[in-house]
Chains A and B, each alone.
Chain A
């Protein structure tokens, strides 16, 4: 029952408030006088886990969230908890779910069952004492050769007589089979029967304990219902998960938008994205510098790639801290995006949009080559974007080969591809390119031509 969750939370969060306090993360804490008197000792692990996760978030993240909302619950039989106009959960009084009368009735029924079991238990106890007496009797009989007794004759009559052959007993084994046993053997059989009876008594006692617990539970429920305890239910929506989804969605959108370069989308991108862009610009500058240093060998290029990777990682680290609470989910997203990219490579989509598509380049861009060669500004801008064209082209070829031969799961291939994403660059780095170089109508088709240049 959801109700049971409330107590541990109350301990953790709001020890003395008189209201229901909604806590972000799908949790609601209710502390009212009735709750504090409730004696439910149950703990729910996932709730506590959720709480701890909440608590361990960076303070910045917590602050950025909407203020904790409060819902008035007292006095209302049932209601709805709202947060910023959104339905967060429902408040139902326990009495409406489990009427006190019904609970009492159930409790009395369980009590009846208990008394019945009690009777059974007494009966069993009687059997046990009978059995013990019989064992004693059987052990005692062989002490004498014969005993003077009244031999029953039917149910209503006796003959005066005696017991003879006192060490011979006929014992019923069950199903109408009898065995002739001595006194000792009979006593052993009877002892075994006694053990069976004991185990029956034990099981009966266990059942009675269960029933008693049930009865006490029903009683507690009834008294709680009378006290006006309230049950608060909220759909458990893992917000972190949602955020992760949304961010990953953004990421996915980014990747294609990189190729598409949708201005409207760029406009929507928030400060976080701007920061990301700034980071990219820095990287661009670095690359530019590197390019200015002259030609580099393939090995050097590899090294540079490594540094780029690091910087990228740093960037992602920043982003992690920025992102709300969804810390652990980032690497997965990267993987996803990388896979997407690689898949794209394999599909060899339009080279014009994605410069890293090496295979399509040669064919598609051949006509554009003239254009690029003819237009200096274009080439220069290209250079800005891709600092050392020659080296890059080589690496790209490598990447492409890898993609074609190997499954697109390797980390390196992924990082390389991400770095090469061209569309990000034109978005924000445009100003830079414009300022430093001649303004060129940098269009999505540019990267292709640039690639061509590199090839040359």
Chain B
């Protein structure tokens, strides 16, 4: 009898562990990576916004830049008219904007990106909670004493 229950319990624990290792943890990693991507995008657009604001403030109409050809080889590039700017709106499409239009789009985009980040953060939190839950379940199955929470020092 004992042996049977032991076997059963062992099997269950194993299944739980597998669930944590093969499902929850990869999910967590994936979610974190996605959120990082969004963070990056957010940074790109905030940079772009700052740059455009800079151009606006200084009313720069033509720009000389260095264009990266790859492998850190640069050629000089000349932009005769900076008033029209092509902004990536996603899925490989670029739209020609004026500065004010671009700034409007960028603020919309940033808003969306922050929402996405929030979603991802929620997702990550829930995954972490699930992992914790399953771990607790395993602990109960094994009838181990509850983990003692280390008392945090108050500085």
Given A130-B71, A138-B69, A156-B48, decide whether A161 and B77 contact each other with a Cβ distance below 8 A.
yes
Interface residues of B in 59-77 (CB under 8 A from A): 63, 65-77
Quick check: is B121 within 8 A (CB to CB) of the other chain? Answer: no
**Cβ–Cβ contact B78 & A161, under 8 A:** yes
Interface residues of A in 117-137 (CB under 8 A from B): 130-131, 133-134, 137
Contact with A along B6-41 (1 / 0, CB 8 A): 000000000000000000000000000000000001
What is the CA–CA distance of A138 and B85 in the complex, to the nearest angstrom?
A: 27
Quick check: is A322 within 8 A (CB to CB) of the other chain? Answer: no
**Cβ–Cβ contact B72 & A153, under 8 A:** no
**Cβ–Cβ contact B85 & A157, under 8 A:** yes
How would you classify the secondary structure of chain A's contact residues: helix, strand, loop or mixed? mixed
**Cβ–Cβ contact B87 & A156, under 8 A:** yes
Q: Which of A131, A149, A153, A163 interacts with B85 by CB under 8 Å?
A: A153
Interface residues of A in 405-434 (CB under 8 A from B): none
**Cβ–Cβ contact B85 & A169, under 8 A:** no
What is the CA–CA distance of A178 and B72 in the complex, to the nearest angstrom?
A: 9
Contact with B along A139-177 (1 / 0, CB 8 A): 001000010011111111111111111101111100000
Closest chain B residue to A172, Cβ basis: B72
Chain A residues with Cβ below 8 Å from B65 are 151, 153
Quick check: is B47 within 8 A (CB to CB) of the other chain? Answer: yes
Contact with A along B78-89 (1 / 0, CB 8 A): 111110111110
What is the CA–CA distance of A171 and B78 in the complex, to the nearest angstrom?
A: 19
Chain B residues with Cβ below 8 Å from A169 are 69, 73-75
Contact with A along B97-115 (1 / 0, CB 8 A): 0000010000000000000
**Cβ–Cβ contact B86 & A158, under 8 A:** yes
**Cβ–Cβ contact B69 & A164, under 8 A:** no
**Cβ–Cβ contact A149 & B70, under 8 A:** no
What is the CA–CA distance of A169 and B68 in the complex, to the nearest angstrom?
A: 10
Chain A residues with Cβ below 8 Å from B73 are 134, 138, 169-172, 186, 190
Quick check: is B120 within 8 A (CB to CB) of the other chain? Answer: no
**Cβ–Cβ contact B86 & A157, under 8 A:** yes
Chain A residues with Cβ below 8 Å from B70 are 130, 133-134
Quick check: is A193 within 8 A (CB to CB) of the other chain? Answer: yes
Chain B residues with Cβ below 8 Å from A137 are 69
The winner among A137, A170, A190 for most chain B CB atoms within 10 A is A170
Given A130-B70, A137-B69, decide whether A160 and B75 contact each other with a Cβ distance below 8 A.
no
**Cβ–Cβ contact A141 & B86, under 8 A:** no
Closest chain B residue to A181, Cβ basis: B73
Q: Which of A141, A150, A171 interacts with B72 by CB under 8 Å?
A: A171
Q: Which of B63, B72, B88 interacts with A159 by CB under 8 Å?
A: B63
Chain B residues with Cβ below 8 Å from A131 are 71
**Cβ–Cβ contact B75 & A166, under 8 A:** yes
Closest chain B residue to A141, Cβ basis: B75
Quick check: is B51 within 8 A (CB to CB) of the other chain? Answer: yes
What is the CA–CA distance of A149 and B63 in the complex, to the nearest angstrom?
A: 14
What is the CA–CA distance of A172 and B73 in the complex, to the nearest angstrom?
A: 7
Contact with B along A66-87 (1 / 0, CB 8 A): 0000000000000000000000
Total number of B residues with any Cβ neighbor in A under 8 Å: 32
**Cβ–Cβ contact A163 & B76, under 8 A:** yes
Quick check: is B132 within 8 A (CB to CB) of the other chain? Answer: no
Closest chain A residue to B66, Cβ basis: A170
Closest chain A residue to B88, Cβ basis: A156
**Cβ–Cβ contact A156 & B75, under 8 A:** no
Given A163-B75, A172-B72, decide whether A151 and B67 contact each other with a Cβ distance below 8 A.
yes
Shortest beta-carbon distance, A224 to chain B, in Å? 34
Chain B residues with Cβ below 8 Å from A159 are 63, 79, 81-82, 84-86
**Cβ–Cβ contact B77 & A160, under 8 A:** no
Shortest beta-carbon distance, B98 to chain A, in Å? 12
Contact with B along A264-301 (1 / 0, CB 8 A): 00000000000000000000000000000000000000
Q: Which of A146, A154, A158, A193 interacts with B94 by CB under 8 Å?
A: A158
What is the CA–CA distance of A186 and B68 in the complex, to the nearest angstrom?
A: 14
Chain A residues with Cβ below 8 Å from B85 are 153, 157-159
What is the CA–CA distance of A146 and B65 in the complex, to the nearest angstrom?
A: 14
Given A151-B65, A153-B48, decide whether A160 and B79 contact each other with a Cβ distance below 8 A.
yes
Shortest beta-carbon distance, A197 to chain B, in Å? 11
Shortest beta-carbon distance, A9 to chain B, in Å? 50
Shortest beta-carbon distance, A384 to chain B, in Å? 98
What is the CA–CA distance of A214 and B69 in the complex, to the nearest angstrom?
A: 42
The winner among A156, A162, A190 for most chain B CB atoms within 10 A is A156
Chain B residues with Cβ below 8 Å from A157 are 48, 85-88, 102
What is the CA–CA distance of A388 and B71 in the complex, to the nearest angstrom?
A: 103
What is the CA–CA distance of A155 and B74 in the complex, to the nearest angstrom?
A: 16
The winner among B45, B47, B73 for most chain A CB atoms within 10 A is B73
* A-B residue pairs in contact (CB < 8 Å), sample of 16: A151-B79, A153-B79, A154-B48, A154-B51, A156-B87, A156-B88, A157-B88, A159-B63, A159-B79, A160-B84, A161-B77, A162-B80, A163-B67, A169-B74, A170-B66, A171-B74
Could you list which residues of chain A lie within 8 angstroms of chain B, going by C-beta atoms?
A: 130-131, 133-134, 137-138, 141, 146, 149-166, 168-172, 178, 186, 190, 193
| A-B contact sample (9 more), CB < 8 A, given A141-B75, A153-B51 | A134-B71, A137-B69, A155-B48, A158-B86, A158-B94, A161-B78, A166-B75, A172-B71, A172-B72
Could you list which residues of chain B lie within 8 angstroms of chain A, going by C-beta atoms?
A: 41, 44-45, 47-48, 51, 63, 65-82, 84-88, 94, 102
The 4 A-B pairs at the shortest CB distance, nearest first, are namely: A172-B72, A161-B79, A170-B74, A159-B79
